[in-house]
Amino acid sequence: MKPTFNIIISFFIVLPVLLLSYQLGTPEAITTAHIAQYLSEPALKLTLAAASKDAETEKNLPIRKLEIPDFQSTANSALAWDFKENFYFFTKETNTARPIASLTKLISAAVVLDYVQPQENVVVSLEAVKKDGNSGNLREGEILTVKDLLAAALLESSNDAAYALGEHVGAKLSVNPESNTTPVRVFVKAMNQKFNDLGLVHTNFTDPAGLEDINSFSTAEDLAKFIKYFRTNPNYSLVWDILKLKNYHTESQNRIAAHDFKNTNPFLEEYAHVIGGKTGYTARALGNMLLVVAGPNSSEIIYLILGADDRESETRKLVEWVAQAWTWPQEK
């Protein structure tokens, strides 16, 4: 946070007085007239004006309630960040690389929408449905739209859907379909390239779903910065529309199966101003949770929990601590 206006003013009033004392030789030589002369100097007036402007900018920032104890998180990494004001409420081990499990699917969704349209049809392959987990209950050979598969991947955290999308987009990106590089590997390369292009260099992906977490990792800081980009780029508005849904019903184009994908985000109904969220879990990553919530004064706060024994409880405690420990100036 920036210094408060009073501190700034005090500094720039006391400093010239001390300088004046040095010039005159002794503090006793300073008179009211001398101080008035210094305070009337054009340079000082400009400095005070700049400090005043900074204070005006600061007025919309949250103020810490010191009577509320500091937050203690048992998660491996945690973060609460108002990305519009670049204001951090809480951080813990945000630059430590960790597996992020199914939070990976958010990056996959971004890459998918970079290259294909939501209404495109995708044939679900046997390789996709053989992936661990049965979330989404996809069937080999059924035809679903890109939007349908995004809903399956983002709401129910379907690994099958993430791989089906990776195969579809990776095939389009493959320069040489006859090479030994699979479409999924091409897709994963695009995921890593996207993070590199954004300057998020403490991250590596090895699959579209977050299943293979030995060499797949990111940091809370990298993820939060990606979510800021992801949230503010209109190309990805469909994802945020999907993340607000409690469920999503669809039927495959060739009528092989009908699906009702349910949102795994436990906070969708608990908090009134949830913008979106995503869960993740593997035995190695433990519980992960991303939650974006609309706050006071048009703020948007990213809550991120990585490596928690109880991701829901850790997220809830962090959200409630921010609400209790900070106050916002009234919006004009």
Task: Report pLDDT digits (tens) over 95-138.
Answer: 999 999 999 999 999 999 999 999 999 999 999 999 887 678 89
Q: Number of structural domains, the chain?
A: 2
Instruction: Give the domain extent around 217.
Output: 77-327
- Specify if 233 maps to a domain: yes
CATH number at residue 297: 3.40.710.10
- Residue 71 falls inside a structural domain: no
Span 26-39, pLDDT tens digits: 444 444 444 445 44
Q: What pLDDT is attached to residue 58?
A: 57
Query: Is 29 in the same domain as 162?
Result: no
305 and 234 assigned to the same domain? yes
143 and 98, same domain (yes or no): yes
Q: What is the pTM of this model?
A: 0.82
Q: What is the mean pLDDT of the chain?
A: 85
Please indicate, yes or no, whether residues 247 and 114 belong to a single structural domain of this protein: yes
With beta carbons less than 8 A apart as the criterion, state whether 149 and 140 touch.
no
Q: Which residues contact 322 (CB under 8 A, 6 or more apart)?
A: 80, 89, 90, 301, 303
